[in-house]
Amino acid sequence: MAELFTPFSLRSLTLSNRIGMPPMCQYSATDGLANDWHVQHYGSRAAGGVGLVIVEATAVLSEGRISPADLGLWHDGQIEPLARIARLIDSQGGVPVLQLAHAGRKASIGRGWEAQRTLGVAEGGWTALAPSAVAFEGYAEPQALDATGIAQVVEAFAAAARRALRAGFRAVEIHAAHGYLLHQFLSPLSNLRTDEYGGSFANRIRLTRDVVAAVRAVWPPELPLLIRLSATDWADGGWDAEQTVDLCRLLKTDGVDLVDVSTGGLLPGVRIPAAPGFQVPFATRVKREAGLPVAAVGLISEAAQAEAIVANGEADLVLIGRELLKNPYWPLQAAQALGVAAAWPLQYLRALPAGTPGRA
């Protein structure tokens, strides 16, 4: 039996395999509302055999969106469109997870396929919020959050988690990576504060831990809590692997169940040694030194590659991104390549090549 297709448990949940879909923004929502595009997008990946489907960055506050076309969960009217997605994923045997996010200084810009520029108020934009009034290169200067604003962010994450539970999601992931708000607080390159949320390591991680505590307090104890971290800024003097491990040791005591390990995003133009599996060693280090389950992501594209990562104990899950955008049925084809009987949708069994292990 290929290790990639063995079950994996987090608290009361058991995934059917070790393949996950990472959160990838679709920039297709209106007023934060999911629509038919999102339904077919996530439903097809669940039907394709993904064990864990993480729905894209969903803003906990309107001003926390990356773009006006981001998903949101800052009011109750946004629950049912997301619930439709959660039900569909669940019906196809996948575990639906929702990523909760706040873009911080990288907010109020155009959609992903458009020129990445700050939108003016007349274009539907707004003032971005951040730990410090330091702009992401090429973007507008953000407004530094005050104590009241920080408290509102923490409560917004908790409120969104409550709504995610009502929508039927079986786990939530806190987005603290890729240069968005929580990552901005973590890194000394973007956090220039001199209060209890800036300066020392303990201060810079405070908001992330506050958010984790607030979400864990409202999230059922039998359901898992995930977090996405950028393990390094790839820049001198920035957030790095050592700090990531130290934070993860604390997050384990705070009730986090799995770390989705990525890198970068805080600064543009940094040199990133992108190559197949280049981020896997960061995940492995968190797993071994912090004692937390991890998901590895980043240029994982081949079945044998994914199998080796899991079989060698480098990560507990692999998240397949761009390959799943190109091919929603990557898990079914990976199973065929590894000689595993996969649970093909009954409606598609007629398409199975002769001799392929499949569901009768």
- pLDDT, tens digit, 9 for 90 and up, residues 146-187: 999 999 999 999 999 999 999 999 999 999 999 999 999 999
The answer to the question of residue 353 being in a domain is: no
The answer to the question of residue 74 being in a domain is: yes
The CATH number assigned to the domain holding 271 equals: 3.20.20.70
Total number of domains in the chain:
1
- DSSP one-letter string for 99-148: EEE--GGG-SB--TTS---BPPGGGT----EESSS-PPTTSPPPEEP-HH
Q: How is residue 142 written in tokens?
A: 């953000």
Are 92 and 101 a contacting pair, CB within 8 Å? no
| Side-chain half-sphere exposure of 203, counting CA atoms within 13 A | 12
The answer to the question of residue 356 being in a domain is: no
The answer to the question of residue 89 being in a domain is: yes
The residue among 181, 171, 294 whose CA lies nearest residue 231 is: 294
Q: What percent of the chain has pLDDT over 70?
A: 97
The residue among 120, 96, 69, 98 whose CA lies nearest residue 173 is: 98
| Side-chain half-sphere exposure of 194, counting CA atoms within 13 A | 0
Calpha distance 69→149 (Å, rounded): 23
List C-alpha distances in Å: 50 to 89, 117, 272, 301, 350.
Answer: 9, 34, 28, 14, 20
Local confidence band at 111 (pLDDT 50, 70, 90 cut-offs):
confident
Calpha distance 210→207 (Å, rounded): 5
Active site residue 180: yes
For 53-59, what is the mean pLDDT? 98
pLDDT tens sequence across 191-201: 999 999 999 99
The residue among 243, 242, 135, 271 whose CA lies nearest residue 186 is: 243
Alpha-helical segments (H) within 312-357: 322-326, 330-337
Structural domain including 64 reads: 3-347
The answer to the question of residue 134 being in a domain is: yes
Encoded amino acid at 121, one letter? V
The answer to the question of residue 137 being in a domain is: yes
* Phi, then psi, of 243 in degrees rounded to 5: -65, -35
| 17-28-70 Cα angle (round to 5) | 85
The answer to the question of residue 355 being in a domain is: no
| pLDDT at residue 356, rounded to an integer | 67
| pLDDT at residue 115, rounded to an integer | 62
Local confidence band at 110 (pLDDT 50, 70, 90 cut-offs):
confident
pLDDT tens sequence across 253-270: 999 999 999 999 999 999
The answer to the question of residue 157 being in a domain is: yes
| pLDDT at residue 360, rounded to an integer | 42
For 89-107, what is the mean pLDDT? 97
| Side-chain half-sphere exposure of 168, counting CA atoms within 13 A | 15
pLDDT tens sequence across 206-239: 999 999 999 999 999 999 999 999 999 999 999 9
Are 358 and 341 a contacting pair, CB within 8 Å? yes
> How far does Cα 86 stand from its chain's mean position?
16
Flag the least confident range among 110-124, 249-263, 298-312: 110-124
pTM above threshold 0.85: yes
| pLDDT at residue 283, rounded to an integer | 98
| pLDDT at residue 346, rounded to an integer | 85
Alpha carbon dihedral 323, 326, 328, 330, in 10-degree steps, equals -40
| pLDDT at residue 117, rounded to an integer | 74
Q: Name the catalytic one among 180, 197, 329, 348.
A: 180
| pLDDT at residue 77, rounded to an integer | 98
Flag the least confident range among 83-87, 285-289, 312-316, 356-360: 356-360
Q: What percent of the chain has pLDDT over 90?
A: 89
In the predicted model, is pLDDT for residue 357 greater than 90?
no
> 117 or 42: which carries more pLDDT confidence?
42
Residue whose tokens read 């509102």: 152
Calpha distance 46→132 (Å, rounded): 40
Q: What is the mean pLDDT of the chain?
A: 95
| pLDDT at residue 11, rounded to an integer | 97
| 10-16-20 Cα angle (round to 5) | 75
| pLDDT at residue 121, rounded to an integer | 67
Calpha distance 70→127 (Å, rounded): 16
| pLDDT at residue 154, rounded to an integer | 98
| Side-chain half-sphere exposure of 187, counting CA atoms within 13 A | 31
